Amino acid sequence: MTRYFTEDHEWIEVEGGLGTVGITDYAQGQLGDITFVDLPETGATVAKGDSVSVVDSVKAASDIYTPASGTITEVNEALADEPELVNTDAEVGGWLYRITLSDASELGSLMDEAAYKTYVESL
């Protein structure tokens, strides 16, 4: 599996043609306590950069943008009852949705883990 990152602090972990998407640990730390996650609709077709979800926290509501185009195939239902999973396990159990990629070449414009770490350190 390969993980990529966006400048908006989303991550996508890709295996085959399927991606799992969430927000980074840095992002959840900036948001504070997550109180609600508005997940995308399963079956929705989205384009890279589209706002597909909203994460509400005690500080703000933040749009989540999809790092790649495709079709939403699954959402993390556990977040309906436990939105705090995004805080406690942002980059594993707090994933938001899974997407079947329609254009894997889009991943080339995203950062790898080392580049993302350097990016965050520059903020």
Beta-strand pair 2-5/51-57: unpaired
Residue 119 pLDDT: 98
Contacts of 61 (CB under 8 A, 6+ apart): 54, 55
Confidence at 1, pLDDT banded by 50, 70, 90: confident
- Could you give the CA distance from residue 39 to residue 95 in angstroms, rounded to a whole number? 11
Tokens of 21: 């998407």
The residues that bridge with 52 in the sheet, in sequence order, are none
- pLDDT, tens only, 63-91: 999 999 999 999 999 999 999 999 999 99
Please give the model's pTM, rounded to 2 decimal places: 0.96
% pLDDT > 90, the chain: 98
Can you say whether the dihedral through the CA atoms of 90, 95, 96, 102 is positive or negative?
positive
| CATH T-level topology, domain 2-103 | OB fold (Dihydrolipoamide Acetyltransferase, E2P) (2.40.50)
Are the C-beta atoms of 110 and 5 separated by less than 8 Å? yes
